[in-house]
Structure 1
Amino acid sequence: MTPRSEPLLWLQLIALGVLPLEALLLLLVLADSAPGPLPGLERLLCWAIGALAPSLLLGRRPADVWSLLLLQTPLRGRREPQRRLSRLQAAPGLALATAGGAALALPLLWWIDGHAAVAAPITPFASCPRLVALLLAALLLVVMLWQWQQLIQSLWLLSRSPEVVAATSPLTLEELEQQRLCLGLPLLLPEPLKLTVAEVPPQPMPSSPAQAPGSEPSAVEAVAVEPEQTSEESHGADLDQEIP
């Protein structure tokens, strides 16, 4: 089994295009909200709610790789290769990558909030109070952090070889429920992708070189097969032998 045959791993890579769009939405949310007397403290509280606290939770229970936040593959409907890949999520490097994404969210929020006024003429959140805007921004940070972890996990699992997956023991249903954060309605049951390897057409055998003029024929070519005599010719030869 190769991880590249799992369609949900490829579907998680959509986060590469969705994350910039969510950052733009974050800019629109904060565009027309006037900062208070302590804007730095407001940003720190928003980051703590939307990135720091979720990163601690995702560090203990990583986001289930078979979950798309709103939809997921049912626990009892998961195949053994999928449960093997779920165990490979426990790599220490993935937890560090999640923490790094939470750390990057702070300067991103700080910069967006400081330059959000440029989008004030086009924002649909013009009448949104500052507190509501910060809560919506924290919610967007939670979604962005979830997608960041899913993106890193999918890239990690897609790079695993079939030998590594086969040597990994699958997670049990109890371990999945206790060690993974499975969110969404259990409605996803995609079939694995059928990856085919292009077959190389067989090359024709090289023909024997043509005989050079003047060369002697080989022993096989020198043997001539005489045609069989017909029944009339053989009967006539017998009569010639009997006449004295």
Structure 2
Amino acid sequence: MSPRSEPLLWLQLLGLAAIPAELLAVVLILAGADPGPVPAIERLLLWALGALLPAVLLWQRPADCWSLLLLQTPARGRREAQQRLSALQSPLPIRLLAAAWALLLLPAIWRLDSLSAQMAAIAPLPEASRLVTILLSVPLLAILVWQGQQLVQAVWLLSRSPEQVGGTPAMGSEALGRERLSLGLPLLLPDPLSLVQDRQPKAAPSSSSAVAPEQQAKTDEGAQLDEQVS
């Protein structure tokens, strides 16, 4: 089965549209408090808690490709193709790209915090303490790290050929629980997508093959008449 028939992989690509809104939310939260005496230390602390720590966790146990953070496909209800794709999801290049995404969040935090002063008038938490704004921004950054890894994995899995998927051993539920970080309620059981090539009707039999039995019957009947006349 082609990986492109898995709807959850396509849904993970939609997470790219939510990243700007999440970055804007970080700016608005940080705008609720003035920077402290050492903003560089505070930004490093925010990055360490919100990006570096989740990145280390996801390096050890990559995010399950069938988990959407709040919902997931139960391990026992997964198809064989999904178990094979789980075994393909975390090679070393994918882990390095996910780690690079976490590193890119450091200059992003620097820039967002410097822009937060310009949005103090519309901050949802005005007059909040700096520590409160940092702690509230940590979960948003952790979600960004999770989404970054899911996006990289989804692109990687969608580009795999059916032959490569078919030649990969399936990953059992025990190995999945030990090696993957699967979050969310086990409520997702979507059916595979019907691809265009799967919906194409089979070729109708050729006219020659359909006419051949009729011609053969006429030939046999003519032979019998010839025998009777003779």
Band of TM-score, shorter chain: 0.7 to 0.9
Task: Quote how far apart the aligned CAs of 1:63 are.
Answer: 0.2
| Pairing 1:222-233 to 2, within 5 Å after superposition | none
Q: Secondary structure at the match of 2:121?
A: coil
Q: Secondary structure at the match of 1:126?
A: coil
Which residue does 1:46 correspond to in 2? 46
Name the CA distance, whole Å, in 1 between partners of 2:82 and 2:58.
20
Higher share of residues assigned helix: 2
Task: Quote how far apart the aligned CAs of 1:201 are.
Answer: 9.1
Task: Quote how far apart the aligned CAs of 1:89 are.
Answer: 1.2
| Pairing 1:143-162 to 2, within 5 Å after superposition | 143-162=143-162
Which residue does 2:101 correspond to in 1? 101
TM-score normalised to structure 2 length: 0.85
Which residue does 1:134 correspond to in 2? 134
Name the CA distance, whole Å, in 2 between partners of 1:167 and 1:135.
45
Instruction: In structure 2, list runs of 5 or more residues that go unmatched.
Output: 205-230
Amino acid at match of 2:153: Q
RMSD: 1.7
Instruction: In structure 1, list runs of 5 or more residues that go unmatched.
Output: 203-244
Task: Quote how far apart the aligned CAs of 1:14 are.
Answer: 1.1
Name the CA distance, whole Å, in 2 between partners of 1:121 and 1:37.
22
Q: What do residues 44-101 of structure 1 show as CA deviations (whole Å, max 9, x unaligned)? A: 0110011111111101100001001011000110111001000001211110011101
Name the CA distance, whole Å, in 2 between partners of 1:201 and 1:179.
45
Q: What do residues 112-171 of structure 1 show as CA deviations (whole Å, max 9, x unaligned)? A: 001111111112121322111001111111000000100110010000000000010010
Which residue does 1:16 correspond to in 2? 16
Amino acid at match of 1:22: E
Q: Secondary structure at the match of 1:168?
A: coil
Which residue does 2:84 correspond to in 1? 84
TM-score normalised to structure 1 length: 0.80
Q: Secondary structure at the match of 1:109?
A: helix
Name the CA distance, whole Å, in 2 between partners of 1:184 and 1:200.
41
Check whether the contact 2:28–2:120 (CA below 8 A) recurs between aligned residues.
yes
Runs of 4+ in structure 1 off by over 6 angstroms are: 199-202
